[in-house]
Structure 1
Amino acid sequence: MKAVVQSRAGDPTEVLDVADVEAPPPPGPGQVTIAVTRFPVHPGDLQTIAATRPDGGHPAAVGAEATGVITAAGPGVDLPVGTRVAAFFVGGAWRQQITVGADVVVAVPDALTEDVAAQMLINPITVLMLRRAAQQHHSVGFDGVILNNGAASSVGRLFTAGAQHHQIATISIVRSAARADELSRRFPDVPVVSTHTADWKDQVRAAVAGRPIAVALDPIGGTASADLLTLLDPGGSLVLYGLMAPEQIPLHASTLVHRDLTIRGLTIGRWALSSAEQKKSDLASAAAISQGLASHFDVAAIYPIDRIRDAAAHAARSGKTGTILVDATSGATP
């Protein structure tokens, strides 16, 4: 069978390969084997690949999320063979078959397409984590406003849609007029500001109409984070959940000290440290989000597994709408 692997750290478009590997072992107690149909390529995947140094130069398995069909189930598993499922936090998910613990698997609702099923865990769980972090500020959900930077991204759009559902006020921040127009059409009741205009900060202040800017969510870092900090009201929080900017955040301690601001980091990797109860709740919530907000799970393109480098290059490209998916069944071996 085919699997995506990497032999060294570096640019995913240069270090990712597709190798013929042995099929996974049969499932043991509490495990299932899944015939993978699709998997997503997230920006976070690319960052992990770029930083990963495989042990001893041996090719390392790649990927953390996939969807497919259960082909075998071990003792103690309630999900029957033939069930469509999504799996997350799977080391080496980018392959045609995986054997994993049933505790990281969720049944895919019948109404969901393969495209949505392939995205139904990592991004929705990230949104749940962001909302929990934002709601630690006492004003969120009341008169406090959240700045949603990178709002045109897959996570950004889902966060906006979920915030609307929970009646949490947000302002979308993007980098171009085209992205602003796109979001205005999708979310006509949510203010959107593009940083390509010189007075974008004044536009943000006008949009909040005197309400406190309590939290800023930022997947970028660097100067973008510094700009967001200047907009926060005293006692506000910047939540960083990405590393897209190459530069450090230009920040003087006085910015935090004199206005009682906080900065916290958040990554989907931290979810692994959650309690079993929290994980179970989040997995169920992710499935519910994927059903209720299915129209916001856009797909930018679908690539065959043999073109994984092209998929990685597209995933790294700015200006796309939606997630890059890979069809794991292309060239499938028996």
Structure 2
Amino acid sequence: MNRRVVYTRGGLPADVLTIVEEPEPSAPECGQVLIRTRAFTVHPGDLQTIGAYPGKTAQPVPAGLEATGVVEAIGPGTRVAPGVRVGGRVTVFPQPGAWSQWVVADAEVVVAVPDELSDEVAAQMLANPLTTVMLRREAEEQLAFGYDGCLVQTAAGSSVGRLVTGVSQFHSLALVNVVRSERGAAELRKRFPDVPVVSTEHPGWADEVRTAADGRPVSVAFDPIGGKLAESLLALLTPGGKLVSYGLIAEEPISVHASTLLDRSLTLRGKNIGRWLSEASAERRASDVATAKQIALGLKDQFEVAATYGLGELTDAVELAVQPGKVGLVLVRPW
């Protein structure tokens, strides 16, 4: 039998996610790869999608988009990425229904895992690094940033935030990190002692960001939170600057008067890693995946696991995944 995580309605993920049993998948067809899953991570973005799902569904919706495992079979005539072979470890993203003991994946989303990476890192090898690649591209496309501009990012202690910091250091990009608490700021300073960190616990945190920028204009801001914090980031941007919104953590909307954007020629840009597969060309996807692998290899110490659960402990895993202040992602071993 195959055990799979599904949901039939929107709501709190801990309440609506269930495990169903179904027959093991048959042999893969052309264009498919059969994978025995070894681990998957519970991404907050996955849970936000489930929580926002409208109404009830006629059929159970398989959950999850990323997992790592071992190739059991490759469909006849299937073209696979370099290194993908029967018996080899792979990671898939974005593959709907990845939270399952067995995954029949589209070959185009199957990526070979380097031998140097553990399952814990492999399970995180694509979604967050690809998000980092996507964000860095947004910064590079902002002309002022490439000369003397400074980047500011919120939720800097998150899994994506730590990768953005590591990549920024590697490429010598000016960065100021923003976190919600002084405790989180202290932790981040230990990891990256050369990167300034500001806590929004302080009433004057925006002025602290300007001071930390050390005279550089704030050209680009990354924000997965939204709401009032995003509005404050817009106020920090230099004329011609860009705010990249890539998450939905805050419940309140971003309230922006047109004059805020018009008077200083600001750009408010939304990015969603879930659209990467459809928006990027085949050549761009291959390049991005290669870069994601290099990020995983170069920053593997930043791919932390907050806790590991079995599939029968899914409710506990989901509840921990949404708790603030944890370090790393929640991992589930489905066998």
The answer to whether TM tops 0.5 is yes
Determine the structure 1 residue equivalent to 2:293.
Answer: 287
Determine the structure 1 residue equivalent to 2:131.
Answer: 126
Determine the structure 1 residue equivalent to 2:86.
Answer: 81
Determine the structure 2 residue equivalent to 1:332.
Answer: none
1:192 partner letter: V
Task: Note if 1:307 corresponds to 2:313.
Answer: yes
CA distance in 2, matches of 1:183, 1:152: 6
2:198 partner letter: V
CA distance in 2, matches of 1:56, 1:131: 37
Deviations 1:20-71 (A, max 9, x none): 1122231112321000010011111011111224874321111100000001
CA distance in 2, matches of 1:305, 1:53: 26
Determine the structure 2 residue equivalent to 1:35.
Answer: 36
Deviation at 1:141, TM superposition (A): 3.5
1:158 partner letter: L
CA distance in 2, matches of 1:172, 1:286: 22
Determine the structure 2 residue equivalent to 1:145.
Answer: 150
In structure 2, the residue corresponding to 1:139 is in which secondary structure?
A: helix
Determine the structure 2 residue equivalent to 1:264.
Answer: 269
- In the alignment, structure 2 segments of 5+ residues that lack a partner are none
Written as runs of structure 1 = structure 2, the 5 A alignment for 1:107-122 is 107-122=112-127
Determine the structure 2 residue equivalent to 1:167.
Answer: 172
1:216 partner letter: A
Determine the structure 2 residue equivalent to 1:24.
Answer: 25
Determine the structure 2 residue equivalent to 1:46.
Answer: 47
Determine the structure 1 residue equivalent to 2:189.
Answer: 184
Q: Say what the alpha-carbon RMSD is for the aligned residues.
A: 1.3
Q: Any conservation in 1 of the 2:9–2:56 contact (CA below 8 Å)? A: no
In structure 1, the residue corresponding to 2:202 is in which secondary structure?
A: coil
TM-score (ref. length: structure 1): 0.96
Q: Any conservation in 2 of the 1:142–1:168 contact (CA below 8 Å)? A: no
Deviations 1:298-325 (A, max 9, x none): 1111111111121111111100110111
Determine the structure 2 residue equivalent to 1:158.
Answer: 163
Task: Note if 1:3 corresponds to 2:4.
Answer: yes
CA distance in 1, matches of 2:193, 2:286: 34
Of residues 176-185 and 245-254 in structure 1, the stretch that sits farther from structure 2 once superposed is: 245-254
2:331 partner letter: L
1:9 partner letter: G
2:249 partner letter: M
Q: How many pairs does the alignment contain?
A: 329
CA distance in 2, matches of 1:168, 1:180: 20
1:243 partner letter: L
1:155 partner letter: V
The percentage of aligned residue pairs carrying the same residue is: 50
CA distance in 2, matches of 1:122, 1:80: 22
In structure 1, the residue corresponding to 2:201 is in which secondary structure?
A: coil
Distance 1:111 1:54, change over 3 A: farther
Q: Any conservation in 2 of the 1:35–1:69 contact (CA below 8 Å)? A: yes
CA distance in 2, matches of 1:280, 1:63: 22
Task: Note if 1:210 corresponds to 2:215.
Answer: yes
In structure 2, the residue corresponding to 1:306 is in which secondary structure?
A: helix
Match of 1:253 among 242, 258, 269: 258
CA distance in 2, matches of 1:154, 1:56: 32
